[in-house]
Amino acid sequence: MYRQNNNRYRRNFSRSNRPIRSYDPSNLVNYSVQTSTEEKPYVAVNSFAGFNISETLKRNIAARGYIVPTPIQDQVIPLILEGEDVIGIANTGTGKTAAFLIPLLDEVGKNRNKNILIIIPTRELADQIKNEFIEFARGTNIYCALAIGGTNIHRQMSDLRRNPNFVIGTPGRLKDLIEQRILNLSVFDTIVLDEVDQMVDIGFLASIKYFISLLAAKRQSLFFSATVDGKVKQLLNRFVKNPVTISVKKQDILKNIRHDVIRVSDKIKKIEQLHDLLVKKEFEKVLIFGRTKWGMQRLSDELVDRGFNADVIHGNKRQSQRLRILDRFKRNEIRILLATDVASRGLDIDNVTHVINYDPPESYEVYIHRIGRTGRADKTGTALTFV
């Protein structure tokens, strides 16, 4: 039962007055993308049943309810099966993970000497890719090792010594394992860089260049990013050779997301405005983004005190805690999840009805990545931003 009118919960949530760079989405209020009658919906050329892949893979795909490939899957899977280098440009939530996992699993099934390295920016995304891998790989006897920070490195070393065909890792832990001579990048004949623009944004450019310098010259290189500009292009020039570029990024503002802003005239009352939203019936499964670890932890504690079923993930949480909280949110054991931008990329969370930017995002790009957690898989969603 939510406690709406108890003054005991009317706390002062004013913040520092230091200026910050932020994006104001006011121009998107009540904005809805008008789908032109001239723009025909995408019609897939392929079906999962028709791809030239193993029957075991097809059964696992069907068990997940996949029938018609998304545009990125439809166009990329055949190219990877043909051994091409690929640049895939697509927004988050378009099915990129399956687009590279399915054909790579098929390749390993035909040649057990193949080794695949998948590099991604965040631990949460790495764990999500591992979970998808497990579902697609059932019955194939193909295994993966996870190499991420915040977890026991000795266990990961033990997993790597078993020579799994797939290694899924984040830059920091991969570098540790390379320096300890546990991981030799020259043995990998296929490399996937996923969410490349985020890796660049959060400071992994030098690490990625270092990894590329250690790779075998003869390899298949797969490169996925929502944007390709500036520093990302530097990596492209080093990473891929005669690539095929597939872009399914028609526009950033997803047509099934309604955008609105919440005007804040008094910072002290900001928490009350949030409270009044969260008690509404339609706010069934809510993801709230904020700027700082401290601010999100404090807000989470306040919401729990008010009787809301909420929890928070941020950089001060142990990796095991973050994954456990995310899993509870996915299983609807938590109705409200608060997060810093560590969670704004790549996470596939079903049925998020609302994304709330309690603190404005730093840029338009961050705004797009945050709100991409709702309105997925042709469902509708709402993005609200406090300004």
Angle among Cα 7, 12, 18 to the nearest 5 degrees reads 165
Question: Which residues lie across from 223 on neighbouring strands?
Answer: 87, 193
The Cα–Cα gap between 217 and 239 comes to: 10
Assess if residue 223 is contained within a domain.
Answer: yes
The answer to whether residues 230 and 257 belong to one domain is no
Assess if residue 142 is contained within a domain.
Answer: yes
Output the pLDDT for position 311: 95
Domain residues for the domain of 227 are 55-247
pLDDT, tens digit (0-9, with 9 covering 90-100), for 276-326: 999 999 999 999 999 899 999 999 999 999 999 999 998 788 778 888 898
The answer to whether residues 28 and 62 belong to one domain is no
Q: List, in order, residues 6 or more apart from 288 with CB less than 8 Å away.
A: 274, 296, 299, 336, 337, 338, 339, 355, 356, 358
pTM exceeds cut of 0.75: no
Assess if residue 40 is contained within a domain.
Answer: no
Query: One digit per residue, pLDDT tens: the chain, 387 residues?
Result: 344 444 443 444 444 444 455 666 665 554 444 433 345 677 889 999 999 999 999 999 999 989 899 999 999 999 999 999 999 988 767 889 999 999 999 999 999 999 999 999 988 889 999 999 999 999 999 999 999 988 899 999 999 999 999 999 999 999 999 999 999 999 999 999 998 888 887 788 899 999 999 998 899 999 998 777 777 887 787 788 889 999 886 554 566 788 888 888 888 889 999 999 999 999 999 999 998 999 999 999 999 999 999 999 987 887 788 888 988 998 999 999 999 886 555 566 888 999 999 998 887 777 877 887 887 666 788 999 998
The Cα–Cα gap between 363 and 60 comes to: 39
Output the pLDDT for position 274: 95
At which of 247, 272, 300 does a domain end? 247
The answer to whether residues 188 and 240 belong to one domain is yes
Output the pLDDT for position 42: 79
Residue corresponding to tokens 């990048």 = 185
Is residue 96 packed enough to be buried (19+ CB in 10 Å), middle (13-18) or exposed (0-12)? buried
At which of 219, 247, 275 does a domain end? 247
Output the pLDDT for position 323: 82
Assess if residue 2 is contained within a domain.
Answer: no
Assess if residue 38 is contained within a domain.
Answer: no
At which of 192, 226, 247 does a domain end? 247
The Cα–Cα gap between 49 and 62 comes to: 8
Output the pLDDT for position 124: 85
Structural domains of the chain, count:
2
Provide the CATH number for the domain around residue 353.
Answer: 3.40.50.300
